[in-house]
Chains A and B, each alone.
Chain A
Amino acid sequence: VSAWLNVLPEAILSVTATLLLIVSTLATTAAMRDLLRWLSTFAIAASAVALIYVSGRFGLSADGWTTATPLTTSVALVLLTLIGWAVLASPVPEESAGEWFALLLFTALGSLILSRVGNLPALFLGVEVLSISLYVLVAFRYTGKLSLRGGAMYLVLAGVGSSFLLYGMALVYAVYGTLSVAELQASADSATMPLIASFGYGMFLVGVGFKLAAVPFHMWAPDVYEAAPPAAAGIIASASKGATVAALLPFAFLLKSHFLVIALICGASMIIGNLLGLRETRVKRILAYSSIAHVGYILLGFLAIRTGLPASLPANMSPEGAIIFYIVVYGLSALGAFVSLGFMRSNTVVTLNDLHGLGRTNPIPAACLLIFTISLAGLPISVGFWGKIYLFSAAFNAGLFKLAILGLIGSAIGLFYYLRIIVHLYMVSPEMNPRGAQPLTTGFQKSMLVVSAAAIVIFSIFPDWLYLLIRAVK
């Protein structure tokens, strides 16, 4: 029984999601749709509670498929919170609410599997569950040409990524004869890596790079983000990336053999992602480039795990802590930015000119977008700033001066396009807007938006609270 109990969090999610698919035809009225929304929220909450229970009960001695450390538990909780927020705050498509929530639950399932991955098949399973539900979510408004194109593009390129991933895993298995991450780690620590294994891990990293949209595997990101519904784009940017990074964390032993590769990807993402954003005029594409750059920052934190740090290092300077902190901060801001944008402009393509004067016509979502943008830009005193300080000081600590300064320069470049969003929101009069103002859907979703913006503001002033919240899970 206990072996089965360990997958209780996953089981809750998958059962509820399947149930939702079955009852989706019944969701014809607004009341039913609200019911489904609450049901999905409840499932995610139940899964989170089960996760805390399970990780408390099994500790480190979990079965081969999952691992449970304080680290993985807090990452998983973070990801569940993000998706739960998306469930609550995102506008629901009228016709197919059941499918919408079921797919969101499946993304939660995929993220959960990825965040506590114990062996390579589990990793692949998580990646695929996450990606496949995201393909559908991207193309959810399947009547639009843009959505279909975006969905197909994501399908093909993420499929390429998956095949790299699988190929890499196969090579690694061929060399070591094991699929367990812990055993792979042990064998990588004990001996030098054979060429084939090294090549296999390289393929593996390429696959991960595709999933993360890190430079040079980033080209799908802008089109997909633009085509996707706001909440889906937000999840690709936040939870999906967070889960992939979480799955990468147990592979920190690769930093010994593949340091240069990861460093190059990291540096290129930070600089090129930000540079590409400069000339872009469509807001969702800007946010896509910003997400590429943010992957670079997170990888910087990953690289900082590399060195034998002094034993006296307090837990709060650990790179892993910095990464989790950043996943929360960045995830909340990116998701919020996409969703608040979706509130103001429901059409898929949003140019900067469409934002004109929204600060006056739609003050509340605009103010939320302002807060999220400032947080993404990492301007003090936003929580994004603390996240960056945290990552960069971890990098400084690990002696990665050049990369850290590169990252700081990248964020200075990035400031330019974030500022453009702010300028267009607030400094141009509403008469200049080619489209009129758009009324908000419901008061409830607006209040969710305000709650998350308020959370950002509060964590900005007291980042310690967020930090303690993350560390409280042990």
Chain B
Amino acid sequence: MLTLTLIIPLIGALFVLLAGRVHATGARVAALISTVVSLQVSYLLAAQARSTVIEIDRLWIESFGVHFALRADWISSLFVLLTSLLSVFAVAVSWREIKERVTSFHVWLLLLQVGVTTVFFARDLLLFYLGWELMLIPMLFIIGSWGTGRKEHAAFKFVLFTFTGSIFMLSAFLYVYYRHFQQTGVLSFHMDQLLQTALTAPEKWWVFLGLLIGFGVKAPMLPLHTWLLDAYPNAPTAGSLLLSGILSKTGVYGLFRIAEAFGQEAFQDIRPLLIVIALVGIFYGAWIALSQRDIKRLIAYASFSHISFILLGIFIASEQGFRGGILQMVSHGVSTSGLFLIAGAIQNRLKTREFENLGGLWRQAPVMGAFFLFFCFASLGLPGTGNFVGELYIIAAALSYHWLVGGLASLAVLLAAIYSLRLFTSAMHGPEPASLDTFPDTDNRENLLLTSLATCLILLGFFPALITTPLGDAEESLRRSSPAAMATTAPIDPISMTNQISAAPAAPAPQIAQEAQQ
């Protein structure tokens, strides 16, 4: 089943190619079917991975020691679930928006899904790197061919930034690979084996630094974020949705899964600095978001600010911070997708995103207005949404780390409220601009999409234990390379106490299930 998550989008891409020869809608339908099937499969997989770790390990390229090694534990399968969910949305939002070269667009979308899924599941560093780079080319085309504004420039900048970052990452990987080879005489990129490599303290520093740059670009972390301003707003709706919803999460995922694992001591040393960077990122993103005059740019910076918030949780590295980070990653993926979806809908209707050309839309489009309000509130962390719980966790973690960090983090929530409300009021309130004549409300398709996103958020808000309960074990598995050494106790989770129903399937001792051959 694990391999299926990779194969289904590939087969889907093939069908899209075939169906696209007949009719453009055929390509859309084929892509939709493929993404829905992957969603189903990854749901089943995630349900299984709640209690057991599913693993595949086969030697792929002998002369380099590259393994086709995938591992699905709760965290990775959770993000794959998010990926397949957002892929369905990406296909659905493009239904009307993409009119030219429909076939190739959907092929790229599905290839992107393959890349992201590989990144989340890969247990072999080179496989991980392949998936990482496999995300690049589809995104290059999606932004460059179907974007708006200075799309080629945006696409270029995105690819160059990420690729340069990944060069550092690859150097770090190769270095560890080489050291491992020197010490054991075994050629292998398998993470479990490479983690056994004994590195001296300065070596760990360099490795960690390389990985930090590689993952930091994608997340994006503070000084490496400048591509975002071009890429997010100029991408087509599906592109911005996937960029902010999933691709940014791969950066964070890599940070806590790989960078931390290889450079733990270095991470401990540099932690205060990283926390400061994350804090500055929160305020910087929020501050610039406030001064934007364009819906998508505002959302882009808001998204940057939120990612920094997530990074704060991850960097604090306490259990609470980690849980909050994961929860917030999922919630942010969903809520920012909703925002980009609405922004895309407005842009498609009016051909503009500037605030001065917008206003008073709520009168003509009450349903869209309501959804917009909901997602803005979600983004500022309204109680009842998953974002609130995530932020709560992170602030709690920050407070227990240092009172000043916690205080500043809670202040950031206030800033989020200001820019979110500004986003909402400038589009929906106020006088209608003269240029505006008719503004159709959301149609059934959009209503369906927005409702399901909103449902997800509320579900996360009321039952966060759905995600956080199995985390305890998965978190343990992060720290240890050998699965046998995993902890057997599920830590007590304050929120799951109040939701005994959902906490009931608390994970038993995780076992490794070697998946049978497909």
Residues in A lying within 8 Å of B, measured CB to CB: 310, 312, 314, 316-317, 374, 379-381, 385-386, 389-390, 392-393, 396-397, 401, 404-405, 408-409, 411-412, 415-416, 419, 422-423, 426-427, 462-464, 467
Contact B187 A379 (CB under 8 A): no
Contact of A408 among B64, B136, B152, B170 (CB under 8 A): B170
**Is B185's beta carbon under 8 Å from chain A?**
yes
CB distance from A213 to the nearest CB of B (A): 25
Contact A317 B141 (CB under 8 A): no
Among B151, B155, B164: residue with most chain A CB under 10 A: B164
Q: Contacts A317-B187, A374-B137, A396-B174 known; A412 to B130 CB distance under 8 Å?
A: no
Q: Contacts A379-B136, A379-B137, A397-B178 known; A423 to B61 CB distance under 8 Å?
A: no
Q: Quick one: CB contact mask for B188-212 with A, threshold 8 Å, 1 for yes?
A: 0000000000000000000000000
A-B contact pairs, 8 of them (CB 8 A): A310-B182, A374-B137, A381-B130, A392-B174, A397-B182, A408-B170, A415-B159, A464-B62
Contact A380 B159 (CB under 8 A): no
Contact B174 A380 (CB under 8 A): no
Q: Quick one: CB contact mask for B83-125 with A, threshold 8 Å, 1 for yes?
A: 0000000000000000000000000000000000000000000
Residues of B within 8 A of A462 (CB): 61
CB distance from B63 to the nearest CB of A (A): 4
CB distance from B21 to the nearest CB of A (A): 12
CB distance from A43 to the nearest CB of B (A): 33
Q: Contacts A317-B187, A411-B167, A415-B160 known; A381 to B141 CB distance under 8 Å?
A: no
Determine the main DSSP class of B at the interface with A. Answer: helix
Contact A408 B187 (CB under 8 A): no
**Is B171's beta carbon under 8 Å from chain A?**
yes
CB distance from A356 to the nearest CB of B (A): 12
CB distance from A44 to the nearest CB of B (A): 28
What 7 pairs between A and B have smallest CB-CB spacing? A316-B63, A380-B133, A396-B178, A380-B130, A427-B144, A408-B167, A412-B167
Contact A396 B63 (CB under 8 A): no
Known A314-B187, A396-B174, A409-B167; further 10 A-B contacts with Cβ < 8 A: A380-B134, A385-B133, A389-B174, A393-B174, A411-B167, A419-B156, A419-B159, A419-B160, A422-B140, A463-B63
Contact residues, B382-422 vs A (CB, 8 A): none
Residues of A within 8 A of B174 (CB): 389, 392-393, 396, 404
Complex CA distance for A473 and B385, rounded to whole angstroms: 65
Among A314, A386, A389: residue with most chain B CB under 10 A: A389
Determine the interface band of chain B, counting residues with CB < 8 A from chain A. 35 or more
Contact B156 A463 (CB under 8 A): no
Among A314, A380, A422, A426: residue with most chain B CB under 10 A: A380
Complex CA distance for A423 and B143, rounded to whole angstroms: 11
Contact A464 B63 (CB under 8 A): yes
Residues of B within 8 A of A392 (CB): 174
Complex CA distance for A401 and B203, rounded to whole angstroms: 12
Closest B residue, CB atoms, query A399: B178
Contact B156 A423 (CB under 8 A): yes
CB distance from B148 to the nearest CB of A (A): 13
Contact residues, B147-184 vs A (CB, 8 A): 151-152, 155-156, 159-160, 163-164, 167, 170-171, 174-175, 177-178, 181-182
Contact A463 B160 (CB under 8 A): no
**Is B25's beta carbon under 8 Å from chain A?**
no
Residues in B lying within 8 Å of A, measured CB to CB: 61-64, 126, 129-130, 132-134, 136-137, 140-141, 144-145, 151-152, 155-156, 159-160, 163-164, 167, 170-171, 174-175, 177-178, 181-182, 185, 187
Contact A426 B145 (CB under 8 A): yes
Complex CA distance for A310 and B183, rounded to whole angstroms: 11
Residues of B within 8 A of A415 (CB): 159-160, 163
Complex CA distance for A148 and B141, rounded to whole angstroms: 40
CB distance from A25 to the nearest CB of B (A): 48
Residues of B within 8 A of A397 (CB): 178, 181-182
CB distance from B170 to the nearest CB of A (A): 7
Q: Contacts A312-B185, A415-B160, A463-B64 known; A381 to B133 CB distance under 8 Å?
A: yes
How many contacts between A and B, using CB within 8 angstroms?
84
Complex CA distance for A408 and B163, rounded to whole angstroms: 10
Closest B residue, CB atoms, query A396: B178
Residues of A within 8 A of B133 (CB): 379-381, 385
Residues of A within 8 A of B182 (CB): 310, 397
Complex CA distance for A345 and B61, rounded to whole angstroms: 38
Residues of A within 8 A of B64 (CB): 316, 386, 389-390, 393, 463
Complex CA distance for A422 and B159, rounded to whole angstroms: 12
Q: Contacts A396-B178, A423-B156 known; A381 to B134 CB distance under 8 Å?
A: yes
Contact B163 A412 (CB under 8 A): yes
Complex CA distance for A419 and B175, rounded to whole angstroms: 27
Closest B residue, CB atoms, query A388: B170
Complex CA distance for A56 and B115, rounded to whole angstroms: 45
Contact B178 A423 (CB under 8 A): no
CB distance from B33 to the nearest CB of A (A): 26
Complex CA distance for A389 and B136, rounded to whole angstroms: 18
Residues of A within 8 A of B160 (CB): 412, 415-416, 419
CB distance from B304 to the nearest CB of A (A): 23
Closest B residue, CB atoms, query A379: B133
Contact A427 B130 (CB under 8 A): no
Residues of B within 8 A of A464 (CB): 61-63
Complex CA distance for A462 and B174, rounded to whole angstroms: 20
Residues of B within 8 A of A409 (CB): 167
Closest A residue, CB atoms, query B131: A380
CB distance from A442 to the nearest CB of B (A): 25
Contact A419 B178 (CB under 8 A): no
Contact A380 B177 (CB under 8 A): no
Closest B residue, CB atoms, query A408: B167
CB distance from A15 to the nearest CB of B (A): 39
Closest B residue, CB atoms, query A316: B63
Residues of A within 8 A of B144 (CB): 423, 426-427
Contact A405 B145 (CB under 8 A): no
CB distance from A179 to the nearest CB of B (A): 37
CB distance from A379 to the nearest CB of B (A): 6
Complex CA distance for A397 and B187, rounded to whole angstroms: 12
Contact A463 B152 (CB under 8 A): no
Residues of A within 8 A of B187 (CB): 314, 316-317
Complex CA distance for A412 and B168, rounded to whole angstroms: 10
Residues of B within 8 A of A314 (CB): 187
Residues of B within 8 A of A405 (CB): 171
Closest A residue, CB atoms, query B136: A379
CB distance from B216 to the nearest CB of A (A): 16
CB distance from B1 to the nearest CB of A (A): 22
Residues of B within 8 A of A401 (CB): 175
Contact A423 B164 (CB under 8 A): no
CB distance from A462 to the nearest CB of B (A): 7
Residues of B within 8 A of A416 (CB): 156, 160
Closest A residue, CB atoms, query B64: A389
Residues of B within 8 A of A386 (CB): 61, 64
Complex CA distance for A420 and B408, rounded to whole angstroms: 44
Complex CA distance for A411 and B187, rounded to whole angstroms: 24
Contact B155 A467 (CB under 8 A): no
Complex CA distance for A374 and B61, rounded to whole angstroms: 20
CB distance from A369 to the nearest CB of B (A): 15
Contact B171 A408 (CB under 8 A): yes
Contact B164 A412 (CB under 8 A): yes
Residues of A within 8 A of B137 (CB): 374, 379
Residues of B within 8 A of A310 (CB): 182
Complex CA distance for A379 and B166, rounded to whole angstroms: 11
Complex CA distance for A404 and B210, rounded to whole angstroms: 14
Residues of B within 8 A of A312 (CB): 185
Closest B residue, CB atoms, query A321: B63
CB distance from A152 to the nearest CB of B (A): 38
Residues of B within 8 A of A393 (CB): 64, 174, 177-178
Complex CA distance for A310 and B145, rounded to whole angstroms: 50
Contact A463 B61 (CB under 8 A): yes
Residues of A within 8 A of B152 (CB): 423, 427
Contact B167 A419 (CB under 8 A): no
CB distance from A381 to the nearest CB of B (A): 5
